[in-house]
Chains A and B, each alone.
Chain A
């Protein structure tokens, strides 16, 4: 029996889909059987980030309606045998799916996979309700911005009300340099408000843009800082104890020279 995990944030654009793609790919690389469900009906993206958009025939609504069998709609990943995607429908609306159908879907996928990871749409309406309906565990994603933290707080409240207690937190797109200069909320500020367990911190990384466009998750790139953060997050999801990685970055030779010359 696997575990159903939803990745959610409330606010849009904080990196839910990218996180789902990376965490899912990383878990599959470690040898787990993983299925990713895109519940963002009408605005599907997870297929693009994984580089699987050309292979979609059936989608989640087709499965729920009984237009196809569940196995027919699952798309196997290019790289890993243990990784599958259940894509969202692009031409329908969020209401095309009900919470009951979602629960049923999660129950049957749980039997065949170690991890069922749900990519939640932004917002707290029907799409969100569907996404969390079948989940047992939740990961809340935020960026170090006041608006994103506020929405994360709201979502944690809604998750608790739905019986998903003790959600875990990923702080995404942290810029250590800005935090150092006091221009960005730091990790402690965020934990102070949200009061949940920290699952990981992902630094801002330009390589992410390249990797999402290419459909190659950054978690596979050993040079990527964000990839390293995702690999740590995966270890923590599986249950290993890993310290939060040091966010200090090398400021580069110019900054070093400036420091010597006394320009800063």
Chain B
């Protein structure tokens, strides 16, 4: 495998840096590949995904190389089928987290992915899917499915202005909407894991608890 592989997806390009090479090798390969394409990638949306232990500034340098050649970063692009959950070893800080903020309605059949946190300003309609490796915030009604901590983070949470999801997943746990209507009186709510179960609570109450703790 080369230091850099560029893969085309429906949403744009996924640029992957291999973990078997040093940063200098990766950087050189990326520059060479983009320059040999003579502006072919200009205007293309891309997501830099690195399986190697790049430091934040190294990641930024690589991203900057792409941006300088007219490419547009878009954390929304992913190789969902090929995505391997990042192996988390102790003490290794998350380096390439890209948070995603979207200001629109997410409709049935649409899927949004973030390898960091995910914020939706708008409604998430029934049949829509949100997947984030971090936490999820919906500034609107959450009617669809939300999966926080998609690569196993049990500390992730889901917050919504109007929490009516068909299903919530956090880490490896799943909770389904009860068959009866949930009356929450337009209060902001949060879903998180307590004792191996997903619970939904008023947001400010959970928040106060964490301050006291």
B-binding residues in A (CB < 8 A) = 150-151, 153-154, 156-158, 160, 192-193, 195
Contacts and interface: CB of A to CB of B under 8 A. Distances in A.
Given A193-B126, A195-B123, A154 B109 contact: yes
The winner among B105, B107, B122 for most chain A CB atoms within 10 A is: B107
B123 to A, nearest CB: 7
Chain B residues touching A, majority SS: loop
A263 to B, nearest CB: 31
5 contacts: A157-B109, A193-B123, A193-B125, A195-B105, A195-B122
A229 B95 CA distance: 58
B12 interface: no
A144 to B, nearest CB: 15
Given A157-B108, A193-B143, A150 B123 contact: no
B110 interface: yes
Contact of A157 (B110, B122, B123, B126): B110
A150 B110 contact: no
B127 interface: yes
A192 B140 CA distance: 11
Interface string B101-117: 00001011110000000
Given A153-B125, A157-B110, 17 more contacts: A150-B108, A150-B126, A150-B127, A153-B107, A153-B108, A153-B126, A154-B107, A154-B108, A156-B107, A157-B108, A157-B109, A158-B109, A160-B107, A192-B141, A193-B125, A195-B105, A195-B122
B34 to A, nearest CB: 28
B118 to A, nearest CB: 18
Nearest to A159: B107
Interface in B90-144: 105, 107-110, 122-123, 125-127, 141, 143
Contacts of B126: 150, 153, 193
A34 B143 CA distance: 40
Contacts of A158: 109
The winner among A158, A160, A192, A195 for most chain B CB atoms within 10 A is: A195
Contacts of B107: 153-154, 156-157, 160
Contacts of B143: 193
Contacts of A156: 107
Contacts of B105: 195
The winner among A153, A193, A195 for most chain B CB atoms within 10 A is: A153
A157 B125 CA distance: 11
Interface in B24-54: none
A160 B122 CA distance: 16
Contacts of A154: 107-109, 127
